[in-house]
């Protein structure tokens, strides 16, 4: 019936409310590094007597789809289960651990080595994947999320992503692009990428010679990225707060550019309307406060790793590369992954 974010952080509360969630201010007692989800949920229920079913959705599982949650809610509300949790099927052979210094052999846990079968011929085993836990109030008040009349919900393997350590991030990013939920509105192909010049295409530094000539540096990988975008039928246009027309002429990019811009959002709107595009078809790469409104408006948005804090908060994607050091190429590859998602959806 309602979506809540439990937090003790002002900024998280602000963002949650911007997206329509209600906020429960978590007490210091259940906001420690050692605090459990169950403790936070129990505290929430103490303040909300009207709630009788809780669906605890883990933020570390970004590929969860609404259709899964609807089916799980039905298991509790219509089929009478007290608790439902998510699992995924894995085809992995397990062996007993032998600790260093122990004088014993490992033993098979779920296979017979003498009759070893192919994993694809084996039904596998079910493992909790931590994506969600649904439970009725009376169970939580007893101190657990799983109990009573229990059921598991098997998620598709491609939707089962659990971010625990740093190396899980790139895997999750690829999975979200390929299998993530993008809302009810159909995906659109990106037709236009607008890139801020200083700090994105270049590193933002300006070198001045003794005879008062300006020099900037750029990364050739970004030029290749722009060429790849053009080959995919995506227009690339450039925008800048300052007059850098000589720099653009020297780079020979053959892109439409607008310099000495005082209102980037207005220029972006003019381009979008002139090309007859929806905002879903527009991508924007910026790095400064003057780019924030454009980043919010574009269907896809990104910033280099060294963008200002305001731009990072407004962007949908933060590049690993810094401005002038491959950020344009990285965002181009991010767009290509989205296009693969669009094409895959059309085939289905």
Cα 313 to Cα 69: distance, rounded to the nearest angstrom: 28
Beta bridge partners of 53: 136
Helix/strand/coil for 116: coil
Burial of 121 by CB count in 10 Å (0-12 exposed, 13-18 middle, 19+ buried)?
A: exposed
DSSP 114: G
Q: CB within 8 A of 215, min separation 6: which ones?
A: 206, 207, 208, 209
Closest CA to 55 of 21, 14, 32, 86: 86
Radius of gyration of the chain (CA): 26
Burial of 15 by CB count in 10 Å (0-12 exposed, 13-18 middle, 19+ buried)?
A: middle
Helix/strand/coil for 216: coil
* Residue pair 312/303 in contact by the 8 Å Cβ criterion: yes
The residues carrying an active-site annotation are 116
């Amino acid at each position: 019936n309602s979506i809540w974010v439990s937090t003790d952080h002002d900024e998280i509360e602000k963002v949650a409310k911007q997206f329509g969630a209600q906020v429960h201010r978590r007490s210091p007692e259940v906001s420690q590094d050692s605090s459990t989800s169950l403790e936070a949920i129990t505290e929430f229920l103490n303040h909300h007597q009207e709630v009788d079913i809780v669906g605890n959705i883990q933020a570390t599982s970004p590929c969860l789809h609404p259709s899964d949650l609807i089916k799980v809610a039905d298991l509790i509300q219509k089929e009478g289960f007290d608790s439902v949790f998510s699992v995924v099927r894995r085809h992995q052979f397990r062996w007993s651990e032998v600790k260093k210094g122990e004088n014993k052999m490992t033993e098979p846990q779920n296979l017979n080595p003498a009759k070893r079968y192919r994993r694809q011929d084996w039904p596998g085993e079910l493992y909790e994947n931590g994506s969600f836990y649904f439970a009725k109030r009376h169970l939580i008040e007893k101190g657990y999320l799983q109990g009573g009349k229990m059921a598991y919900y098997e998620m598709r393997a491609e939707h089962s992503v659990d971010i625990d350590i740093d190396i899980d991030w790139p895997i999750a990013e690829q999975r979200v692009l390929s299998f993530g939920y993008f809302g009810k509105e159909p995906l659109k192909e990106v037709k236009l990428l607008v890139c801020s010049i200083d700090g994105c295409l270049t590193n933002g530094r300006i070198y001045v010679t003794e005879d008062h000539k300006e020099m900037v540096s750029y990364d050739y990988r970004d030029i290749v990225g722009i060429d790849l975008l053009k080959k995919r039928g995506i227009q690339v246009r450039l925008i800048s707060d300052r007059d850098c027309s000589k720099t653009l002429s020297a780079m020979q990019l053959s892109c439409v550019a607008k310099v000495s811009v005082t209102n980037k959002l207005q220029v972006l709107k003019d381009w979008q309307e002139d090309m007859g595009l929806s905002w879903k078809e527009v991508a924007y790469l910026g790095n400064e406060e003057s780019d924030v409104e454009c980043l919010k408006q574009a269907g896809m948005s990104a910033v280099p790793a060294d963008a200002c804090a305001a731009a990072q908060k407004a962007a949908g994607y933060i590049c690993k590369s810094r401005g002038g050091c491959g950020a344009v190429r990285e965002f181009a590859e991010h767009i290509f992954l989205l296009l693969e998602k669009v094409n895959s959806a059309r085939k289905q």
